[in-house]
C-alpha cells in the first residue's frame, strides 16, 4: 500500500464485509457456530455465504452466527429468516451448496427442499 486511494479501497472492502454481518430488516442467514458446527465445517459454509452475498451485491441480507442450534448430527446447519415467512433450516451443508441456496431461496424465494431438515431425516 503506497497511496491514500489504496488505503481507502481496503477500508471500503472491510466495511462492505462488516455490513453483511449487521442486523437489518431484510433476510437473516444464521450459521450454527458452536463447537459441533465448527467441527463439522460451519466456518467455510459461513464464509461461502458472506462471499456469495457480497459477490451478488445483496444489501438486504445479513449473515450472522449463533451457538448450538440443537441437532449436532445435522451440522453444519443454517437458519434463514425472511420477513413475513417461516424460518427455514438447512442441514448438512458444505460450501458447494451455498450458491444454490442464495440463488434459489435468498434471491428468488424458493426453498431448496433437498437441503432442508425434512430431507435429511
CA distance 1 to 58: 29
Asked if 44 and 64 count as a contact pair (C-beta separation under 8 A), the reply is: no
Backbone angles phi, psi at 88, to 5 degrees: -120, 130
- Number of C-beta neighbours around residue 58 at 10 A: 16
Identify the pLDDT of residue 3: 82
- The superfamily (CATH) of domain 17-120 is Glutaredoxin (3.40.30.10)
Please tell me the pTM assigned to this model: 0.78
Domain ranges, ordered by start, for the chain = 17-120
Identify the pLDDT of residue 16: 65
Looking at the chain, list the stretches that DSSP marks H as alpha helix, in order from N- to C-terminal side: 4-19, 35-40, 42-56, 95-100, 117-120
What 3-state class would DSSP assign to 69? coil
| pLDDT averaged per 10 residues in sequence order, the chain, 121 residues | 78 65 74 95 96 93 92 95 94 97 96 86 56
Amino acid at each position: 500500500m503506497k497511496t491514500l486511494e489504496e488505503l481507502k479501497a481496503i477500508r471500503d472492502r472491510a466495511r462492505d464485509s462488516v455490513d453483511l454481518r449487521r442486523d437489518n430488516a431484510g433476510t437473516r442467514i444464521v450459521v450454527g457456530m458452536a463447537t459441533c458446527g465448527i467441527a463439522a465445517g460451519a466456518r467455510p459454509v459461513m464464509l461461502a455465504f458472506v462471499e456469495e452475498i457480497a459477490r451478488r451485491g445483496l444489501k438486504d441480507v445479513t449473515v450472522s452466527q449463533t451457538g448450538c442450534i440443537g441437532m449436532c448430527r445435522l451440522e453444519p446447519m443454517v437458519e434463514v429468516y425472511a420477513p413475513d415467512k417461516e424460518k427455514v433450516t438447512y442441514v448438512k451443508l458444505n460450501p458447494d451448496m451455498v450458491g444454490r441456496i442464495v440463488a434459489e431461496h435468498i434471491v428468488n424465494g424458493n426453498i431448496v427442499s433437498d437441503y432442508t431438515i425434512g430431507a435429511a431425516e
